Structure 1
């Protein structure tokens, strides 16, 4: 499903394509975003992260660097609309995955379905739920299935249908 925010993210990233490899721009944006968020919360290694941030943005022209916060704004607005794997969707939409290297994209709707199947009609009703380590785990890297499982479990509902004990 393509949302207006996803379209904007893809358009902004593609605007950087004219002089730079899109995979590298996407990766560098993700690292810069992580550094920015981390620096806002944890100051212990701020200087080291800031140096890395400056090294990354130093590789790009001003107009590309000015695109980075715009992308972050679109990501934040997409997440405010509801939990979703907006970065995975952008990665897929930009066709940056590489099946030759074993990189596959699991659509978020499929992750949602798998989470509901795992939870069934289970509800945590005031007690702490403990999920087995490795539940719905992927082989490596980001796994939106875990995020969907946690979100479904946390809310105790899916798509407006409440689970009952």
Structure 2
């Protein structure tokens, strides 16, 4: 459990709600299920079987708390993107959990935000409309920094960790970035688990979406 003073100021209400869900459920399960529920919501009715399979372990009050968590994230995204250009609340909170539960599946740490910004400044040009690859995407924050430097590119993100792929998909979606996320081994292109199309045809309908699909 993360103490209130340990959580970033903008995520303290989120942390309070999250902690309340971990009294009856394991931390890893709650975080992973939150990501799945958000993706199902962003799927606009296309992932209903997955959604109902995910929520069946929770009671009505807990489902309301999941809705509140999503609302808190939306507020955080809007505020921080307007203030700083990009935000990675999921990756930030994930790292806090990883520090508390090192023996669990939450065992990763990501490139610091300042380093991501520097890498974007050094590597991303001014041309837009390019297709760019991130073969070990983590929470997707390097892509977020690159998109802040030059908008309008298309990103192909890959990672072996399902939680990382879900965080990346949500982050790209909330930043109105077009791309795709593949959960597989980026070196061998094997061990495929799932793929997401992010903000497909966003230019046409201005609706943030995450659609699951199987590449041909």
CA 1:87–1:62 in 2, change beyond 3 Å: closer, same or farther? same
Query: Does the 8 Å contact 1:9/1:71 carry over to 2?
Result: yes
CA 1:100–1:90 in 2, change beyond 3 Å: closer, same or farther? closer
Q: 1:32-76, CA deviations, whole angstroms, 9 ceiling, x for partnerless residues?
A: 11001112xxx5xx3xx2122122111012222111111111111
CA 1:52–1:141 in 2, change beyond 3 Å: closer, same or farther? same
In the alignment, what sits opposite 2:186?
A: none
Distance 2:138 2:74 in 1: 22
Please list, as runs of the form range in 1=range in 2, the aligned pairs for 1:19-34 lying within 5 A after superposition: 19-34=24-39
TM-score normalised to structure 1 length: 0.71
Instruction: With a CA cutoff of 8 Å and minimum separation of 6, indicate the structure with the bigger relative contact order.
Output: 1
In the alignment, what sits opposite 2:136?
A: 139
Query: Does the 8 Å contact 1:16/1:25 carry over to 2?
Result: yes
TM-score normalised to structure 2 length: 0.56
Cα distance, 1:98 vs structure 2? 4.8
Q: Which region of structure 1 is more displaced relative to structure 2, 107-116 or 89-98?
A: 89-98
1:62 maps to which of 46, 56, 60 = 60
- Which has the larger Rg? 1
CA RMSD of aligned residues (A): 2.8
CA 1:6–1:33 in 2, change beyond 3 Å: closer, same or farther? same
Query: Does the 8 Å contact 2:117/2:146 carry over to 1?
Result: yes
In the alignment, what sits opposite 2:49?
A: 51
Cα distance, 1:140 vs structure 2? 5.2
In the alignment, what sits opposite 1:130?
A: 130
Cα distance, 1:141 vs structure 2? 4.3
Cα distance, 1:129 vs structure 2? 5.2
Please list, as runs of the form range in 1=range in 2, the aligned pairs for 1:9-158 lying within 5 A after superposition: 9-39=14-44, 46=46, 49-81=47-79, 82=81, 83-95=86-98, 98=102, 103-119=108-124, 122-124=125-127, 128=128, 130=130, 133-134=132-133, 137-139=134-136, 141-154=138-151
Query: Does the 8 Å contact 1:6/1:89 carry over to 2?
Result: no
Cα distance, 1:22 vs structure 2? 0.8
Query: Does the 8 Å contact 2:34/2:66 carry over to 1?
Result: yes
Query: Does the 8 Å contact 1:5/1:75 carry over to 2?
Result: no
Which ranges in structure 1 are unaligned for 5 or more consecutive residues?
156-165
Query: Does the 8 Å contact 2:95/2:108 carry over to 1?
Result: no
Structure with the larger helix share: 1
Structure with the larger strand share: 2
Which ranges in structure 2 are unaligned for 5 or more consecutive residues?
1-5, 153-216
> May I ask how many residue pairs the two structures share in their alignment?
140
